[in-house]
Structure 1
Amino acid sequence: MSVILQNDLIDSVANALQFIACYHPRDFIQSVYEAYQQEQNPAAKEALAQILVNSRLSAIGKRPMCQDTGIVTVFAEIGMGVRFEGEMTLDEMINEGVRRAYSCPSNILRHSVVADPDGSRKNTGDNTPAIIHHHMVAGNSLKLRLAAKGGGSEAKTRFAMLNPSDSVVDWVLEQIPHLGAGWCPPGIIGIGIGGNPEKAMEMAKSQAMASIDIHQLQKRGAKTHEEALRLELYRKINEMGIGAQGLGGLTTVLDVKIASYPTHAANKPVALVPNCAATRHIELTLDGHGAAAMPEIHLDDWPEISRKSDGTVKRVNIDHITKEQMADWKPGDSLLLSGKLLTGRDAAHKRLIDLLDQGKPLPVDLENRFIYYVGPVDPVEGEVMGPAGPTTATRMDKFTPRLLEETGMIGMIGKAERGAATIKAIRDTQAIYLIAVGGAAYLISKAIKAAKILAFEDLGMEAIYEFEVEDMPVTVAVDSKGESIHKIGPEKWREYIKEKGCAACSGQK
């Protein structure tokens, strides 16, 4: 019998969530660095470099690696010989740990959870409640596996009830191109096969939190059907040439993890859950001897990347940019932006469109301005702004054509691809769409020299800010002629991989 004290459990959860917000798992850093060393596409290589630099800076500064500090998922394996001492239930203790972690004044984490999801969508204010899965197991300890899962990768979750004779490989390969770049590749793909719908999804989510070991599996070879599927999917997904941030390249996935479970003879449930470049997870064990200890941090685990310019990076002052100057920018061009830009996400865009519908003036003048799709982390002492990486631009597509056509806005910054209607509007108005690297939020925040709220302060992190930036790194994604890097990049590198063979894919030598 083990007696686990209430405060020990709460402290363990709080400490773990603070830890994973700032520190990548070691296996992830090693895998990204291998991909960086092998990458041949300069744009993708720069994206991987920014992810690695950002990760090291976050580890040193003890600040979140991504502004989207996620919704908390917990897998609790409760030993039959465990007893809890305290007034709270297990779920209440876990949620109290979440509350303390996300409200820590020395390292503020963004509150991203909203209640009444189909109604008011009001922020809960402390990132609770967590999503908790319970399993009773043999033993005298409590094992907790915690993840902080960002909304961009969660939005790309897929599920299907296949027929028994259908190919899982074919279904997965059909899904991957439709995930786009919003899940911030490269990352891990978790797959659950069998059980029923909720079991398949739970397995996939659990597998997305597993350690990266695909290279070890490649060396020893598959011993099970699931292992053979992993190797086949890892190779075939990377052969698609989607690459880091969807820019085209050799590495789209770092690993494919698969779990299966017996299912009804008439069914084959399959779930797919991607884990992004800000992968955050940890495993804790409590056995009645105090709070769980966090892993030791060794900065030698992080490579020191020297991001030397090859002379092709353009410095741009967006305060004085013209459409004629932007017309020279091509998909894949690397830019360093300086000047003043506005911010805005879903809620702010909805309010702007509502005001246009009502014929009312907008609270900000968008003419000749750039808008950055971001919901930043609040700053702590000494910071102008907390981590401020891009959110998925696709969600703004329903609003963008009208803003471009009716407000004089000329540029947008986000992550991932744009839809056909938005690309047409960009072309028709000679505007531009740029991307920042998802998974480089702390690095990007270093470019923000001043920040102030201009409108919709009640929206919290979704308010409209004005950022003054200096040398903010971005890549041209859709140029003023409507050419998209997310289309031409993967096409080019898919052909490159096809010509070079499997050896071109990451980790295959």
Structure 2
Amino acid sequence: MTIIRQDDLIESVAAALQYISYYHPADYIAHLARAYEREESPAAKDAIAQILTNSRMCAEGRRPICQDTGIVNVFLKIGMDVKWQGFTGSIQDAIDEGVRRGYNNPDNKLRASVLSDPIFERKNTKDNTPAVVFMEVVPGDKLDITVAAKGGGSENKSKVYMLNPSDNIVDWVLKTVPTMGAGWCPPGMLGIGVGGTAEKAALLAKEALMDDIDMYELLERGPQNKLEELRIELYEKVNALGIGAQGLGGLTTVLDVKIKTYPTHAASKPIAMIPNCAATRHAHFVMDGSGPVYMDPPSLDLWPNVNWAPDYNKSKRVDLNTLTPAEVASWTPGQTLLLNGKMLTGRDAAHKRIQDMLAKGEALPVDFTNRVIYYVGPVDPVRDEVVGPAGPTTATRMDKFTRMMLEKTGLIAMVGKAERGPVAIEAIKDAKSAYLMAVGGSAYLVSKAIKGAKVVGFADLGMEAIYEFDVVDMPVTVAVDAGGTSAHITGPKTWQAKIGKIPVVEG
């Protein structure tokens, strides 16, 4: 009989969360390295180089791969012969204590992103609890655990749909993936669940993301059943869309497509699709009653010899302290810049508060005139850091505030992740502003460009406060120029046409 002790479960969960915060799964690194080797798009290849460099830096420095250290998902398969000992509360309580300890580890503090009330107060719990826990009782005497940390950027792109029984899955996926934009930080993978009921399909899709990435092995040996044939078809056709790394256009959008199924009602064909981002983070282990489980660190030899560094010959250095609207208007789509000087930060909560203050005629805590804002919620610093990992957050969430910021605060440019929507692009065009894209999945690398950081407004918002960063050669790409041209529209169209497997539809 296996006895699982509360303290062992708590320690195992805490250790796993620390582990996955700075170690990519080996299968992800292997497939991303191969994608880097075959990539022909300069913009996409540069983005993948940043992600690979960031990944190795995190493994060496034991700091988070991404500033969004995720909402914790835990999948438990509980053997029917398992006995519990020393529990002062529920299994959920024990897991939450593991999350609490894992996220508050002083040597590698992780960002608390979970809000206690999703509708009204939306107040941060400060310790990233509670976790989302799934439990299944199975034959046996072991406790099988998968721990994952799912970032908001990719989770927000999840799709659940009730297909008609005769509807084609490939058609739905190819229609849906482009609507997800690049906020899920490709290249990653797609988890697809088909069958059961709506909520079962969603769970299947999430579970599929926990499987090993093995697409290259599958392509080499060939499919052995219809499900593998479908995986290959989706992998090839999704990549033929030309979306590419970070949505800038390229050969690789997904590294793998995983599919799980379940019996369903004769009248139904529920389907769910959930992407995993460049910050793929999950670990699997088994508790047998012998004590807490600690995973061995991977060998650094797993990482390819890719060391991204600024290209001073191809990139333009920009002085943010003397930046003018005229200089912003001169930037062109796809141009790479290296930002230097002082920039402000702000994301959802700060923008909403600014909107409310302007509506009341109240003075803002900081002057945005001729300033650049960076959409980011950084990790707290440790040791001698100025700031913790500080990669960009999804810019489209700020689209509805863009015109207000450009017309009422004097802001002249923005930095974020992925594309902008039509509302924001129109506002940027009208203001002759620009939107710059930083690479999602390179948070630790970006943080090394930040030489100074201080809170200058809304300190009560925690990681969503307004900071002032002093940066040196922070890499960005002009994603929307003053004329309203978006690299996230032109890039994928260009590469979809180059790949030539799916006709490009104009308009």
TM-score by length of 2: 0.97
Change (3 A) 1:310 1:384: closer
| Pairing 1:293–2:294 present | yes
Structure 2: which amino acid aligns with 1:92?
D
Q: Once the 2 structures are TM-superposed, how far is the Cα of residue 221 of structure 1 from its aligned partner? A: 2.0
Mapping 1:4-153, distance limit 5 Å: 4-87=4-87, 88-153=89-154
Q: Once the 2 structures are TM-superposed, how far is the Cα of residue 500 of structure 1 from its aligned partner? A: 12
Change (3 A) 1:240 1:499: closer
Q: 1:325 aligns with which of 321, 327, 332?
A: 327
Q: Once the 2 structures are TM-superposed, how far is the Cα of residue 400 of structure 1 from its aligned partner? A: 0.8
- Which residue pairs with 1:334 in the alignment? 336
Mapping 1:249-328, distance limit 5 Å: 249-307=250-308, 309=311, 311-328=313-330
Structure 1: which amino acid aligns with 2:448?
K
List, as ranges, runs of 4+ consecutive aligned residues in structure 1 with deviation greater than 4 Å.
Answer: none
C-alpha contact 2:382 2:388 (8 A) present in aligned 1: yes
Tell me how far apart the structure 2 counterparts of residues 325 and 416 of structure 1 sit (CA, whole Å): 23
Tell me how far apart the structure 2 counterparts of residues 404 and 230 of structure 1 sit (CA, whole Å): 44
Return 5+ residue gaps in structure 2 as ranges: none
C-alpha contact 2:182 2:246 (8 A) present in aligned 1: yes
Tell me how far apart the structure 2 counterparts of residues 421 and 71 of structure 1 sit (CA, whole Å): 29
- The 3-state SS of whatever aligns with 1:74 is strand
**Range moving further from structure 2, 54-63 or 491-500:** 491-500
Change (3 A) 1:310 1:457: closer
Structure 1: which amino acid aligns with 2:273?
L
Q: Once the 2 structures are TM-superposed, how far is the Cα of residue 307 of structure 1 from its aligned partner? A: 3.2
Structure 2: which amino acid aligns with 1:401?
R
Q: Once the 2 structures are TM-superposed, how far is the Cα of residue 481 of structure 1 from its aligned partner? A: 0.9
C-alpha contact 2:31 2:216 (8 A) present in aligned 1: no
- The 3-state SS of whatever aligns with 1:47 is helix
- The 3-state SS of whatever aligns with 2:321 is coil
Q: Once the 2 structures are TM-superposed, how far is the Cα of residue 159 of structure 1 from its aligned partner? A: 0.5
- 1:436-478 deviation line (CA, Å, top 9, x unaligned): 0000000000011111111100000000000000010111100
Q: Once the 2 structures are TM-superposed, how far is the Cα of residue 304 of structure 1 from its aligned partner? A: 2.5
- The 3-state SS of whatever aligns with 2:436 is strand
Q: Once the 2 structures are TM-superposed, how far is the Cα of residue 93 of structure 1 from its aligned partner? A: 1.2
Tell me how far apart the structure 2 counterparts of residues 131 and 179 of structure 1 sit (CA, whole Å): 23
State the aligned residue count. Answer: 501
Tell me how far apart the structure 1 counterparts of residues 184 and 307 of structure 2 sit (CA, whole Å): 26
Tell me how far apart the structure 1 counterparts of residues 405 and 45 of structure 2 sit (CA, whole Å): 33
Q: Once the 2 structures are TM-superposed, how far is the Cα of residue 329 of structure 1 from its aligned partner? A: 1.6
C-alpha contact 2:240 2:501 (8 A) present in aligned 1: no
Q: Once the 2 structures are TM-superposed, how far is the Cα of residue 40 of structure 1 from its aligned partner? A: 0.8
Tell me how far apart the structure 2 counterparts of residues 89 and 263 of structure 1 sit (CA, whole Å): 32
Q: Once the 2 structures are TM-superposed, how far is the Cα of residue 368 of structure 1 from its aligned partner? A: 0.2
Tell me how far apart the structure 2 counterparts of residues 347 and 61 of structure 1 sit (CA, whole Å): 31
Tell me how far apart the structure 2 counterparts of residues 126 and 271 of structure 1 sit (CA, whole Å): 30
Q: Once the 2 structures are TM-superposed, how far is the Cα of residue 323 of structure 1 from its aligned partner? A: 2.2
Structure 1: which amino acid aligns with 2:72?
V
- The 3-state SS of whatever aligns with 2:500 is helix
- Which residue pairs with 1:506 in the alignment? none
Q: Once the 2 structures are TM-superposed, how far is the Cα of residue 310 of structure 1 from its aligned partner? A: 7.2
Mapping 1:348-363, distance limit 5 Å: 348-363=350-365
Structure 1: which amino acid aligns with 2:224?
K
Identity of aligned residues (%): 58
Structure 1: which amino acid aligns with 2:399?
D
- The 3-state SS of whatever aligns with 1:122 is coil
Tell me how far apart the structure 2 counterparts of residues 310 and 177 of structure 1 sit (CA, whole Å): 33
Q: 1:431 aligns with which of 428, 433, 440?
A: 433
- The 3-state SS of whatever aligns with 2:3 is strand
- Which residue pairs with 1:204 in the alignment? 205
C-alpha contact 2:241 2:502 (8 A) present in aligned 1: no
Tell me how far apart the structure 2 counterparts of residues 499 and 113 of structure 1 sit (CA, whole Å): 42
**Range moving further from structure 2, 295-304 or 367-376:** 295-304
Tell me how far apart the structure 1 counterparts of residues 118 and 294 of structure 2 sit (CA, whole Å): 36
- The 3-state SS of whatever aligns with 2:496 is helix
Q: Once the 2 structures are TM-superposed, how far is the Cα of residue 306 of structure 1 from its aligned partner? A: 3.5
| Pairing 1:247–2:257 present | no
Q: Once the 2 structures are TM-superposed, how far is the Cα of residue 37 of structure 1 from its aligned partner? A: 0.9
- The 3-state SS of whatever aligns with 1:486 is helix
Q: Once the 2 structures are TM-superposed, how far is the Cα of residue 293 of structure 1 from its aligned partner? A: 2.4
Tell me how far apart the structure 1 counterparts of residues 177 and 375 of structure 2 sit (CA, whole Å): 24
Tell me how far apart the structure 2 counterparts of residues 416 and 6 of structure 1 sit (CA, whole Å): 42
Structure 2: which amino acid aligns with 1:481?
G
Structure 2: which amino acid aligns with 1:386?
G
Q: Once the 2 structures are TM-superposed, how far is the Cα of residue 380 of structure 1 from its aligned partner? A: 0.6
Tell me how far apart the structure 2 counterparts of residues 295 and 158 of structure 1 sit (CA, whole Å): 35
- The 3-state SS of whatever aligns with 1:327 is helix
Change (3 A) 1:499 1:72: closer
- 1:32-63 deviation line (CA, Å, top 9, x unaligned): 11111111111111100000000000001000
Tell me how far apart the structure 2 counterparts of residues 392 and 177 of structure 1 sit (CA, whole Å): 16
Change (3 A) 1:17 1:306: closer
Tell me how far apart the structure 1 counterparts of residues 96 and 312 of structure 2 sit (CA, whole Å): 49
- Which residue pairs with 1:447 in the alignment? 449
Tell me how far apart the structure 1 counterparts of residues 501 and 293 of structure 2 sit (CA, whole Å): 50
